[in-house]
Amino acid sequence: MEIVWQTPAHPAQKEDYIFHNGKRHVRPYYFEFVSHVNKRWEGCRHEPPVMAWDVEILQNESNVLTVYKPASVPVHPCGQYRKNTILGILQAEHGLAPLYPIHRLDRLVSGLLIIAKNPGQADIFRQHIEAGLVQKQYVAKVVGVFPEGEQVVDANVDYNAREGKSNAEVGISNGDTTLKGKAACTKFTRISTNGTDCIVLCEPITGRTHQIRVHLQCTGHPIANDMRYHSDNVVDRSTLGTTANRAAALSGSSPLVSCENQNEEYKYCSENFSIDPMCTHCPNLAPNGYDEHEEGLWLHCVRYSGPEWVYECRYPDWASLS
């Protein structure tokens, strides 16, 4: 299949996707993006793959759509992702567009995602959220035995965009110290434990970036597979997004092997998309620096409720400690 030119106006199509080794890939395409600041970007775009799980539709009402968001898939186009997003997949596989997500789930978080089908319904949800009328519930699998009873973490969250990481600030601003973060509060309740790990109900009162993750870190019980906030596995974003060999060297793992060095994989790649000899990512499907061992966080959205409405999602498999 030839590499084609596209702009943000081109919708995702079913034939844009390649499923291979448990991942959903996007066929490389020439992409032109026009902006007022940088004028125009163009080139052969290789989107990072995501896990090949379905985006399951839970409820399809006249004004509202709810889906089970798989981990690893971003909600909307951002950064390197455009078609490998919840909105792109829903448009390609179900013809659903335009859509208006009413809350955000981080890319590595799974669970309930509520989407309005029109601006009017989106505005209703927005008003409920801004008025503090929406209750949110998540479940997380954390390290250690979490205390019994409701635990409340009330600590400012300061997000560092360069590092892609939030920090919790505990204390009171005074003449010598100024808290830079935004006020944040989360309630936690232990659901179950096996003596080593716990499943914890998380109820964020505010909605700061990485709030649940950094507040669980504050309790001494971080999410068990959270490489960014688990104290034994902290990853600096400055080591991410590098070339495959550099990323492998920094992590101590083996470098990614290109399709060119794997006959079966190269055969698969060459049969399904054209190769641009000027592209630094070809003949691979994934872009350079992609972490093929990435997994979803053990953090899952299970329930949102507001004035006269409730939407829920089933628990993930990892939430059972039996």
Active-site residue, 106 included: yes
- CB within 8 A of 191, min separation 6: which ones? 139, 198, 199, 200, 201, 319
Q: Residue 66, CB half-sphere, CA atoms under 13 Å: how many?
A: 17
Distance CA 205, CA 203 (A): 6
> Can you name the residues that pair with 101 across neighbouring β-strands?
115
Handedness of CA 74, 79, 81, 85 (dihedral sign): positive
| CB contact set of 155 (below 8 Å; sequence gap of 6+) | 168, 169, 170, 181, 184, 215, 218
Structure tokens at 48: 């990072």
Q: Which is catalytic among the residues 16, 54, 106, 276?
A: 106
Phi, psi torsion values for 104, nearest 5 degrees:
-110, 140
Largest CA-CA distance found in the chain, in angstroms, rounded: 66
The catalytic site residues sit at 106
